Every structure is written in C-alpha cells, then in structure tokens.
Structure 1
C-alpha cells in the first residue's frame, strides 16, 4: 500500500514505520511504501497526482478546508460509520467533520501554535519564567542576546516556516475577533487595509522580533533551526507543537517547554491555541481500501497511540492514553490545559486555499523580512493590490 505524508520529524516517521510494521506482521501479504514530501510542496503534489489519477492508497491532510477539492473530486472516503472512530476522543472529531456531519479523516494528534523554548537557555539568561506579555517577551529577547544566545531560531530556507512564525499571533487575533479572517480575505469580504483583526499590529510585532532571529535566516533550513534550539544556541522557535519532536530527535536531552505567544500586554490574553484537524485519509478508489481501513483501525488503537506519543512527542486524540508521556507536555497540561488558558482554533486558518494567493502571501512576508525597515504599510498595500489581481472581491 502506498502512503504519502509530509512528516519531516524523525519521531513522526518512526511512528508510521512501527505502526505499519505492526499491521504487516498481522497481515503478511501487505507491505507499505511510505513517501515523505516537503510540507511546502505537499498539497501541490497531491493535486498533481489527483489530476493524473495517480493518488496513493492513503495520505495525510492538515485540514478539511485546504483539501475540499480532493474531497469533492472523490479522493477521500467517508469514514462516518467506521467503528474505530469510537476510540477517538469526541472533542477531536470536529476538525475532520464537514458541515453535513460526515467524517473524512482519522485525526491523530492535538496540535498547538505557540512558542517552544529551551529552558536551559532561559536559565542561563536569568529568565525565571516564560513571558506572558509582549513587553516581557522583548525583555527576554534582550536578556538572551546579552548572554550570547540567539533569542529566536528562524529556518526560512523552508518557506512554510515564515507562515508559522506569525501563525500563533495570527490565530490568537482571529480567535479574539471571532472571525476566520483569512477565509474572509480569500473570499474578498474584507481587505488587509481594513485591518479587522489588527493585522498591522501582527506585522509590527513580527518586525520587532525579527531583530532577534539568527543571522541569514534564508540560508538556514528548518532542520538547522531546530538544531540551534536543541543545542541551546538559540532559545525559542515560534511554530507548532510538532517542533518538540523535531528538536528532541536531534537532542533527546533537550530541556524544552511550551508557552503561549504573548501578543498583548495583558497576561490573560496569553492563551495556548490547541486543535485537532486533518489526519489520515483513505482513497476510495484504492484497490486496497479494505486493508487501508484496517490500517486506520490499528492506528486508532491504544497500542499505536502509545507508540505515537512516545515517538512523535505529541498529544494523541485516542481515549485513555496518559498525558504525562513527556515533561514538555506535563507543563503544557498544568499551565494551560488544566487552567483553561487555551483556545480552539479548529475552524481558523493559517493558510490560503488558493495557492496563487498563498504564494503572494509568502512572497510579501519574505519581502517584509528582507526590508530592513519592515515597512508595514508598504506590505499591506502590496498584499491588497496583488490579491485584487488574483480574486474579485464580493460586491
């Protein structure tokens, strides 16, 4: 069976390998061809394969919104009646469920958007606890720089990381405004200049913290950025919780923590965004679709869930698994989950579905980084003009 994914982290790949090996042991007539694809090119590759009618037996999606074209074209099996879904915590099925109640993927983990930090680097700089306000965040950056530690690691050679460097700020502001602003922008219901979620302030904060990233971020890839954090040469990465797996794959002894991106000077606003969307999809045209469903049943089991948590270093959506599998997540649970300092970003976007718009967005952010003045107004004007050329605003 063919299975395409976009996992770069060693722990995630190990989970796939061990889980599929377990299935093969139970069903010796099957083997798996696991193919990892760069995250930035992943959806484009799937769409190319769909056009050429060369889709894999199984594949991953990050969210339903970005995969609607694949679902509409019949390349996703309706999983709604599958018994193995009973093994999934009901809270985490919303992210794979369409408006009509149908379920299109087996969710696998709870993803968070925030700051991953090296506790030893913070201690070396005399920082006793993670910042909870924007002013404290900048003060922490100064303290780290003063002791020769790179405050923030950036791996912009992999362009998707630019989006994720602002994702935590972007998502928090969309949630606070109770609107999927990126979907509104894409549909032409609003503009960047209208600033409905304070995108200008998001860019302004981005420009301020760009002063604290490593030299030559566009010559640094994602793996190198994670290595900087793993070795304590850098103190923070602003990205998703999957970063924990990537960093600990490079240095298992890394003393890591997670904290909410503090986008205001009110500590109560520093909430950690958590959600489960997307997961494993079965191609209904696959000649091995029954075996693929059996694979999903196995991957929904506690046995493979435990393999997932111990290798991928992420919170599983499977019922009955412990939350103390890694110190990083013990802290997340104690500081944010148990205190209610989280928000659900299941229905919020970090990317544009239209790939032409997405490229324009990434290019504009790239220019913003390269511009030493980090001119917010120029970026806003450029984005609106480029988006208007590509899509027609709703009248």
Structure 2
C-alpha cells in the first residue's frame, strides 16, 4: 500500500505495467461508536482489547449488541481480522510480511495466533450480532444507525454514512465517535491502504495533456474537495478540515500513532482465504484446527511465487 511504518507518505507516482499510476484516496478501517452508550455511568470507550471485552459484557447485559458486523460481505471480515493481525505484525516488525517471505519471521507464529485468539474471544463472548454471517455491509449501517448496536467496524466514511442513514431512514440521530482497536497493552498501529487510484496509459497519444490533467486531479485543493467528510489522503499537502467528531478523532489518532500497510498485502490469496475460513468457522460456533493452519502454511509455500514485494 505504499505507507511506511511510523509515518505517512507523500504522493507517489510510479511506472507499472506501462501505466502511470498514483494514489488518490486512502482507506482506514477502525471502530466507530455511539457516544451515548459510552457516556452512561460505568461505561467509557475501550483503550485496549480487554476493556473492549469488558464493555461488550456491559452492553450485552443492557440488551445492546456490542458490535454489528456483516460478514456475508467477506471484505468486512478481511478488514476486521486484518486489523488485529496487522497490529500484531507491525509491533513485531515494520516489514513483517517481507520478513516472512525471507524466512526471518513465521507466517503461523505468535502474531497470527494472537489475531486468531482475539477473534475467538470476540465470538465466544457474544461481541457480534447473531446475524454476523448472514447480513451484509449495508444492513450493518441500519443496525448501527437505528441504535441496535453500540459499535461498528468500518472506514472513516461511516461517520457521514450514519448521518445520511439517520436522515434517509428517519432514525433519531446520535453523535458518532471513534476509537482505534489495540492490543492488550493499548498499543495502536493504524493500517492504511489505497482505496482507489488514477492511471495514465503510457501509450496514449496525449501524454502531456494526460499528465497535466493528473496534476490537477492530484492537487491538494482538488483532492480535499473530492474526499469530502470522511475521506483520507496519503498526501501531507492535502489538509482535511473535518467537521464530524468521529473524523476529527480519527485524524488525531493518525497523527499520534504509527501506520502500517494493510494485512495480507504481501500474502498470496490462498493464505488470506484459509485464515478467513478458519475465523468464519469460529464465528459460526465451530473450532479451528491446527491442521487448517498447517494447510495455510503449505499454501503459502506453494503460492509464494505470486508475491510481489515492493
């Protein structure tokens, strides 16, 4: 994804597959919450994983779903599991997935097992809605905006999406807040990746005109106008003026914590599929096995030649 651990990137342009490409928008996925649910006596936004579990216990007791998820859309499971996996990886090494490729770190080591254990705890402690595997992402918007769930794991766009859902569905609005997921010690590493990019065909008959247009599209003024509320840019020159509290909180967390590439950026698809299938089984009430993890390792070795390191 082009970000370096510990700091954000300036705009990057590169020649790949005969195209001039540049990132236009970044994707960051973390937890957003209903502020009212965490302002009641004895409730506060979690600052580490154990506090998240404790908050979930209180919310369940109050008949409120702790976190609404729509894992029928597997990309949402990819992002959520990846949040814990990339945090554990980055705290070990800023180049963890490249280290796995070189053989100096383990694919199925303490980092991956830590993420699997956290998801197992989330599932077993009823942190998710019972429909976790049967509803999709749009349905979770409604679960959250209607007040049925206290938290939702989504990108920076969710704060504005919630405002739109309040208006479109007639729900009573509430203030949406934000907090990053963290490990047991409260350590935070923000995973950042490209949401979309713009490209120029190197064979175009109008290379200079295309480059001029690209320069306009990527000017700080145009980028900020295009992003709107909740969009993020990897360019330091693009200053985002957030209005919603959740977006302001997100920007503050980004400013004060290290970043890393999103989980699985340098793993073959078979590895991500295997680990997400393992997690899906756990969410459904089953139990993952060591044999499944051994199969993930075998698939990594088999498909290692598909990996393109930066």
Do 1:112 and 1:272's aligned partners in 2 also have CA atoms closer than 8 Å?
Answer: no
| 1:21-60 equivalent positions in 2, closer than 5 A | none
Q: Does 1:178 align with 2:93?
A: yes
Q: Does 1:159 align with 2:74?
A: yes
RMSD over equivalenced CA pairs, Å? 3.5
Q: 2 CA distance for matches of 1:106 and 1:302?
A: 14
Do 1:115 and 1:237's aligned partners in 2 also have CA atoms closer than 8 Å?
Answer: yes
| Per-residue deviation, residues 316-363 of structure 1 (Å, max 9, x unmatched) | 4362634333321222344x355x2x11214x5434553344433433
CA 1:318 to 1:111, structure 2 compared with 1: closer, same or farther past 3 Å?
same
| Per-residue deviation, residues 219-263 of structure 1 (Å, max 9, x unmatched) | 211111222222221122234334434444423645222212121
251-260 or 156-165, larger mean C-alpha shift: 251-260
Do 1:144 and 1:151's aligned partners in 2 also have CA atoms closer than 8 Å?
Answer: yes
For 2:308, the equivalent position in structure 1 comes to: none
TM-score of the two chains, using structure 1 as the length reference: 0.62
For 1:369, the equivalent position in structure 2 comes to: 283
CA 1:91 to 1:214, structure 2 compared with 1: closer, same or farther past 3 Å?
closer
Q: Report deviation, 1:287.
A: 5.5
Unaligned runs of 5+ in 1: 1-62, 66-89
CA 1:350 to 1:387, structure 2 compared with 1: closer, same or farther past 3 Å?
closer
Q: Does 1:299 align with 2:206?
A: no
| Per-residue deviation, residues 94-121 of structure 1 (Å, max 9, x unmatched) | 6x4669xxx9533334543432222233
Do 2:100 and 2:106's aligned partners in 1 also have CA atoms closer than 8 Å?
Answer: yes
For 1:119, the equivalent position in structure 2 comes to: 35
Q: Report deviation, 1:290.
A: 5.1
Unaligned runs of 5+ in 2: 168-172, 306-310
Do 2:36 and 2:175's aligned partners in 1 also have CA atoms closer than 8 Å?
Answer: yes
CA 1:135 to 1:355, structure 2 compared with 1: closer, same or farther past 3 Å?
closer
TM-score of the two chains, using structure 2 as the length reference: 0.77
For 1:273, the equivalent position in structure 2 comes to: 190
Do 2:13 and 2:22's aligned partners in 1 also have CA atoms closer than 8 Å?
Answer: no
280-289 or 155-164, larger mean C-alpha shift: 280-289
The structure showing larger relative contact order (alpha-carbon pairs under 8 Å, at least 6 residues apart) is 2
